[in-house]
Amino acid sequence: MELRGEKPLGYGDLFQDWEIAIAKKLITEHQDKRLCLKCEPFNDLLQECLSHWYSVKGKFDPGQGANERTFMARIIRNKLLNLAETLETDKRKMHSRALALDEPIGDGEDSKTLLDTIENRASGCQASESIESHCLNIDVNSVAKQLSSRQRELCDLLRRDFAIAEISRILKTPRGTLYDEIKRIRSFFEDAGLREYLK
């Protein structure tokens, strides 16, 4: 138990009371703001911050216009921000850990492997993809009904990868007119929420 006015165990005469107080205050503030710091033990953060402060406090220059407490607060804040960033990066790395495809996911002998899971999802996706594809066809067909026969013919030629020059020759229409017609067709699809369908 720490008594009032007494330094925490292990710091001896390395730090004055105000240095420890500033570090504690800033750690508490940052733990309230950042979840990754809240999960870290307070004493570990205190030790990390005070160790860092000890290594840089000799760089304090009173001629720079700030007092030593302000300088320390800035150093500790930056240290806490760096610690939070490192912890968040490490957390993201854990989510992207590499696994062997034949490695069992559970602890049991009959646990599925990652490959089994991927194959099951793939077969499930095929069904949902065919439903989505069917719905897309219905939407595209409803938009196509709004197009003139000339516009539908233009769409068909574009879908079959004919170049604009070839389409111009086939439809006996100037390229500028075709570009205007394509803009009108695009607006039909965009109005129907099918912008992704247009390539």
41-63 per-position pLDDT tens digit:
888 899 999 989 999 888 888 88
Answer whether residue 179 is part of any domain.
yes
Domain count for the chain = 2
The boundaries of the domain holding residue 178 are 127-197
> What 3-state DSSP class applies to 172?
coil
Last residue of a domain, one of 38, 71, 95: 95
Picking from 129, 106, 110, 18, the residue whose alpha carbon sits closest to that of residue 67 is: 18
pLDDT of residue 149: 85
pLDDT of residue 4: 43
CA distance linking residue 37 with residue 32, whole number of Å: 8
Last residue of a domain, one of 79, 95, 111: 95
pLDDT of residue 7: 46
84 touches 37 (CB < 8 A):
yes
pLDDT along the chain (199 residues), means of 10: 47 83 92 83 90 89 86 91 82 55 65 63 48 50 77 84 88 89 82 63
Answer whether residue 108 is part of any domain.
no
